[in-house]
């Protein structure tokens, strides 16, 4: 199983002691590891070896963790199935023959298969929560700025966060305790409010007595019937433990997927410009014409999905179209954030199915990228709003895993961990 979970199986030993001593961790292959290949699942970086560690990797080492490999992923984080990886697809250990989700599918699969105790992924529009749901494990997308992005190969700077996977909520929270905190090398990082000095893992009490849960009706529309039924069973379980729920509305989310992809693709177009065969990436071989050399390197180095997103992002940012697409997407983003703030003023947390569908069969969705984009409908609004969210196993439909997503206010990770630990 490990051969399709890891791109590089090279152990990196941590300190002799620490909070994660004796624990093994898989690291997504877009997180820099000094002296160990970091490919982003792309031919472009097939031989790239970083000269430095990402901040989260340094913190793992200091905490005594052993990194057991670099986990497979959709190329440059662009995908929902881990099938766009240059190194091949990853099977789902919890549902063989199905995708593990993406883009951090290898990380979730490593935990689900017992290849690692914990794992790190990155979440730009659901890339931690989707594979957590599809593989039946726990995944946390932290508040934007809680975890340093230094050493994370950028896809969408304003959207992405590194997040932990674990078999249980407490496991994932223990990893979050290690990686969270400000970093002078990442100016977007912030410390959680001072009153929140409690360890994240200590919040995993499962106490939901009196918890108010808002259920956005828009995030249930169009979802698979079995997924919705499993979701309501999980809500009923929380009710039995003392929580109460009521319906809320997020009118702006009907525009969230469109706004997200305009913003994410625009940022990707800019971020991936550096991979030209000169600064980074494999050379196309100079033949006397710089433009042709540049084009050849990118044609040979990037896969179809990455090329698609670069083209669309470049178009959205081009003269005459910036205001028509990118500016409108940013306006929609502000509307999404305001809707979440209003909803969270009426509830402690919000709840939805993590994914509106169960895991796809391997190969099922590769010919329809639009289908994959729409599958992110429940996860991308959280990234647009810079909020934290967690996916926990809710049960199964037709033998396939279903995840429950809980969303909280900014830096409300402890609230989410407390609620989610009632289920996992």
Q: Measure the CA–CA gap between 90 and 58, rounded to whole angstroms.
A: 27
Q: Measure the CA–CA gap between 68 and 63, rounded to whole angstroms.
A: 15
pLDDT band for position 283 (cuts 50, 70, 90)? confident
Helix (H) or strand (E) holding 121: strand 118-123
Helix (H) or strand (E) holding 142: none
Active site residues: 28, 103, 127
What angle, 0 to 180 degrees and rounded to 10, lies between the N-to-C axes of helices 169-179 and 413-420? 160
pLDDT of residue 322: 86
Average pLDDT over residues 86-106: 97
Average pLDDT over residues 342-354: 98
Of 143-147, 179-183, 296-300, least confident by mean pLDDT is 296-300
Cβ contacts of 417 within 8 Å, gap of 6 or more: 140, 169, 173, 200, 201, 203, 204, 390
pLDDT of residue 9: 95
Give exposure, 172-197, as e/b (b: 16+ Cβ within 10 Å): bbbbbbbbbebbeebeebeebeeeee
Q: Answer whether 383's CB lies under 8 Å from 125's CB.
A: yes
Backbone region of residue 61 per phi and psi (left: phi > 0; alpha: psi in -120 to 50; beta: other values): alpha
Q: Is residue 195 scored above 70 in pLDDT? A: no
Average pLDDT over residues 257-277: 95
Q: pLDDT tens digit string along 78-90? A: 999 999 999 999 9
Q: Is residue 1 scored above 60 in pLDDT? A: no
pLDDT of residue 2: 65
- Ranges of beta strands (E only) in 236-311 are 244-248
Q: Is residue 231 scored above 90 in pLDDT? A: yes
Average pLDDT over residues 187-212: 88
* 211 phi and psi angles, rounded to 5 deg: -65, 130
Average pLDDT over residues 156-164: 97
Average pLDDT over residues 277-281: 86
The 3-state DSSP class for residue 346 equals coil
pLDDT of residue 371: 80
Q: Answer whether 192's CB lies under 8 Å from 417's CB.
A: no
Closest to 23 (Cα-Cα) out of 164, 221, 184, 163: 164
The 3-state DSSP class for residue 253 equals helix
Q: How far is CA 84 from the centre of its chain?
A: 16
Q: Measure the CA–CA gap between 299 and 316, rounded to whole angstroms.
A: 21
Terminal CA-CA length for the chain: 25
How many angstroms separate the Cα of 84 from the Cα of each of 42, 77, 155, 381? 9, 9, 15, 23
Tokens found for residue 178: 């290690």
pLDDT of residue 248: 98
Q: Is residue 130 scored above 90 in pLDDT? A: yes
* 391 phi and psi angles, rounded to 5 deg: -115, 130
Q: Measure the CA–CA gap between 402 and 228, rounded to whole angstroms.
A: 9
**pLDDT above 90: percentage of residues in the chain:** 88
Average pLDDT over residues 285-298: 84
Interior CA angle at 133 toward 229 and 105, to 5°?
150
Residue 48, CB half-sphere, CA atoms under 13 Å: how many?
Answer: 27
Q: Answer whether 40's CB lies under 8 Å from 85's CB.
A: no
Q: Measure the CA–CA gap between 318 and 312, rounded to whole angstroms.
A: 10
DSSP state of 326: I
Alpha helices for 302-346 (secondary structure H):
304-317, 328-344
Average pLDDT over residues 373-380: 94
Q: What is the largest CA-CA distance in the chain?
A: 71
Average pLDDT of the chain, as a whole number: 95
**pLDDT above 70: percentage of residues in the chain:** 98
Domains and CATH numbers, the chain: 6-209+352-421 (3.90.1300.10)
């Amino acid at each position: 199983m490990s051969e399709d979970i890891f791109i590089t199986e090279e152990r990196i030993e941590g300190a002799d002691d620490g909070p994660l001593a004796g624990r093994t961790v898989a690291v997504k292959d877009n997180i820099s590891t000094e002296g160990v290949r970091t490919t982003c699942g792309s031919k472009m970086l097939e031989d790239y070896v970083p000269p430095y560690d990402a901040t989260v990797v340094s913190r793992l080492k200091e905490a005594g963790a052993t990194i057991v490999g670099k986990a497979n992923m959709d190329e440059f984080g662009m995908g929902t199935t881990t099938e766009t990886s240059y190194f091949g697809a990853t099977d789902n250990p919890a549902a063989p023959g199905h995708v593990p989700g993406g883009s951090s599918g290898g990380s979730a699969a490593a935990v689900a298969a017992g290849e690692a105790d914990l794992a790190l992924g990155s979440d730009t529009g659901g890339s931690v929560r989707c594979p957590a749901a599809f593989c039946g494990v726990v995944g946390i997308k932290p508040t934007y700025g809680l975890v340093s992005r230094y050493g994370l190969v950028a896809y969408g700077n304003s959207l992405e966060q590194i997040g932990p996977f674990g078999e249980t909520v407490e496991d994932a929270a223990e990893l979050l305790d290690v990686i969270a905190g400000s970093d002078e090398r990442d100016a977007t990082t912030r410390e959680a409010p001072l009153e929140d000095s409690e360890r994240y893992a200590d919040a995993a009490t499962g106490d939901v007595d009196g918890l108010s849960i808002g259920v956005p009706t828009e995030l249930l529309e169009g979802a698979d019937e079995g997924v919705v039924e499993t979701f309501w069973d999980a809500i009923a379980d929380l009710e039995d433990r003392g929580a109460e729920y009521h319906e809320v509305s997020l009118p702006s989310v009907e525009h969230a997927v469109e706004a997200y992809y305009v913003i994410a693709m625009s940022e990707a177009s800019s971020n991936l410009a550096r991979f030209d065969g000169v600064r980074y990436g494999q050379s196309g071989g100079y033949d006397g014409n710089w433009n042709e050399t540049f084009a050849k390197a990118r044609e040979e180095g990037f896969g179809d999905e990455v090329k698609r997103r670069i083209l669309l992002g470049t178009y959205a940012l081009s003269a005459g179209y910036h205001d028509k697409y990118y500016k409108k997407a940013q306006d929609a983003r502000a509307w999404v954030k305001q809707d979440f703030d209003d909803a969270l003023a009426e509830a402690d947390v919000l709840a939805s199915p993590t994914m509106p569908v169960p895991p796809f069969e391997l190969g099922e969705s590769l010919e329809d990228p639009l289908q994959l984009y729409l599958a992110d409908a429940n996860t991308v609004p959280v990234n647009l709003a810079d909020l934290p969210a967690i996916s926990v196993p809710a049960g199964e439909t037709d033998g396939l895993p279903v995840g429950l997503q809980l969303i909280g206010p900014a830096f409300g990770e402890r609230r989410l961990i407390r609620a989610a630990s009632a289920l996992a």
